[in-house]
Structure 1
Amino acid sequence: MKAAAAEQSEFPWDRVMAMGFGLLRLSPKTFWSMTPREFERALSALSPGRSDAPRRNDLASLMRAFPDKTLQEEAWPKT
């Protein structure tokens, strides 16, 4: 039992409070009344959402619209 307890790290209260009070500008009353899930959702509004990777057809379409230049074309412009 002691080994398992020793492996657990302490909750990062300083970091969480800094984000809640400083970044989100929550009042103490609001901060302490939030559930962890509510707090996470409030923080998620500040970070860009992750989108799915482009689909194969979308990527192929972009590659046709914006083909890569070869190194030779970039290094030696035609005159």
Structure 2
Amino acid sequence: MRSAFRKPLSAAAGGSAQASAAFPWDQAMALGFGLLRLEPRAFWAMTPIELAAAIKPLFPAGGGEPLGRSEFDRMMQQFPDGGPYG
């Protein structure tokens, strides 16, 4: 297929605001460049599925849930203030 017949991607071609808002580019770039420290060539070669697989170990399922009181108390006993960790 000749490149003259290819339709450009809407995000690359400055498509509508709704089309470009469909993918969170700012967040993906922050994760890729900032957290994973990927080089631009490596980041732009990745598919969204590959990026998701790369960051999955950094955000385990359930990692955003707050501690319960008993878990907090257990950690306070294990790591008291003024101990070797702070």
TM-score normalised by structure 2 residue count: 0.44
- Bigger proportion of residues as helix: 1
The alignment's TM-score, normalised by the length of structure 1, stands at 0.48
Higher relative contact order structure (alpha carbons within 8 Å, sequence separation ≥ 6): 1
